């Protein structure tokens, strides 16, 4: 749904260091400009290609070409988004409820349309509207920290964030296990 999250749910949260782009909204109900379903999903053609009866060398070539095209499209999409979302945030903490960011250009009470880059392969872009709730400590040379709460986040976008957080948690657990 595209409505504010009125349920009282808690989501797993993970410390991260990633970039996001944003644009300030003139009011909380201003329509989003980042389209729904912007994510470039992997084509899913690998199984089809392997079962096609084509020679293995050709199948391998086509699968590699498909992966390269996905990377090119991802970069083009990032460049295109930067023209609509001119300002950048550093994301320090992420959950499906909100984000903790560093910035010098926002303040509590602002509403932002935020675009998060959650993965390169496959390219995963999540967008939603967030309210800047409060500011935190000032980090010299970087800016202040701000807590943002999502007020509009499509279910598919929320699910992508939850998947990202769980994937990152699993990777960290695996890393800790082998130390």
pLDDT tens digits, residue range 32-55? 887 654 544 444 567 777 788 888
- How far is C-alpha 105 from the chain's CA centre? 20
Q: Check: pTM over 0.85? Answer yes or no.
A: no
Question: Across-strand partners of 121?
Answer: none
Query: Residue 5 — very low, low, confident or very high, per pLDDT cuts 50/70/90?
Result: very low
Q: Which tokens belong to 141? A: 């040379």
Q: What is the distance between the alpha carbons of residues 135 and 98, in angstroms, rounded to a whole number?
A: 14
Q: What is the pLDDT of residue 27?
A: 92
124-152 average pLDDT score: 86
Q: What is the distance between the alpha carbons of residues 140 and 93, in angstroms, rounded to a whole number?
A: 19
Q: Residue with structure tokens 């800790």? A: 176
Q: For 10-19, 85-94, 124-133, 167-176, which range has the lowest pLDDT when averaged over its residues?
A: 10-19
Whether 7 has a pLDDT exceeding 60, the answer reads: no
SS3 32: coil
């Amino acid at each position: 749904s595209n409505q504010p999250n009125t349920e009282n749910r808690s989501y797993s949260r993970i410390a991260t260091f990633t970039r996001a782009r944003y644009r300030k909204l003139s009011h909380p109900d201003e329509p989003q400009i980042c389209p729904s379903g912007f994510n470039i999903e992997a084509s899913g053609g690998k199984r089809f290609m392997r079962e096609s009866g084509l020679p293995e060398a050709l199948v391998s070539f086509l699968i590699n070409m498909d992966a390269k095209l996905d990377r090119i499209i991802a970069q083009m999409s990032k460049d295109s988004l930067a023209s609509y979302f001119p300002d950048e945030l550093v994301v320090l903490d992420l959950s499906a409820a909100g984000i903790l960011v560093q910035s010098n250009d926002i303040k509590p009470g602002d509403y932002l349309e935020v675009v998060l880059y959650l993965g390169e392969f496959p390219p995963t872009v999540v967008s939603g509207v967030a309210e800047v709730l409060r500011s935190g400590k000032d980090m010299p040379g970087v800016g202040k920290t701000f807590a943002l709460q999502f007020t509009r986040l499509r279910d598919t976008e929320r699910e992508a964030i939850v998947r990202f957080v769980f994937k990152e948690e699993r990777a960290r657990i695996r890393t800790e296990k082998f130390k």
